[in-house]
Amino acid sequence: MRTKFKAWTKPYIDEHPEVMASDEFLKALTESYFLEIGSGKGKFICDMALAYPRHFFVGVERNVTCAGIAAKKIVEGEISNAKLVLANADEVLLKIRDQSIETIFLNFSDPWPKKRHHKRRLTALPYLHQYNRILVRGGRLIIKTDNDDLYAYSLETLIQSPLKIIEDSYDYDGRAEFDSMTEYELAFREKGQKIHRIVAEKND
């Protein structure tokens, strides 16, 4: 489900810098925050920010059209506890300080099906080590996917990582308290596709 390019999105982002989180802004946050990598059109991050106004949410999105649509939702919803970063995850992770993230959400990440591209998967071992670095003690990584191969791969790499799997559902019912459905999840559920969910925790 590739998003069609929309020319208005980049100018919209430029017109609303208050929605974008700079490196300086993230470093200045005094409390740990919640990070969604691959925030798409922003339904999840906006729903979560509205449901949990005392938490601060940051969404990372590399697609300018998706980021622009998400930015518009934040502006029009007058959501003050959510911001976006328009960049690749690799760039952003290196700039995040140690032990500053409460929870990382990976919602329906690109499965990169070809074996030679598996290192690009957001649950590849180098990424998991980065997540472990930036998570607070007891912080969590929450993964949702419809892709069987990515689900199995993620379980394997998590076992090799410092993070500990505490929940694993092949057929997730969507009823976890701290969660919301993304655009992808709604579409997949309408088709009867199973949603897989993994929760891992940092213990060291």
Go through the chain and tell me how many residues it has: 204
Active site residue 110: yes
- Selected catalytic residue, list 47, 90, 110, 171: 110
Written as one letter, the residue type at 80 is: S
Q: Cα(77)–Cα(79) distance, rounded to whole angstroms?
A: 5
Q: Phi-psi region for residue 132, left (φ > 0), alpha (ψ -120 to 50) or beta?
A: alpha
Look at residues 2, 4, 72 and name the one whose alpha carbon lies nearest to residue 42: 72
The answer to whether 86 touches 62, Cβ cutoff 8 Å, is yes
Instruction: Classify 53 in phi/psi space as left (phi over 0), alpha (psi -120 to 50) or beta.
Output: alpha
Q: Which residues are catalytic?
A: 110
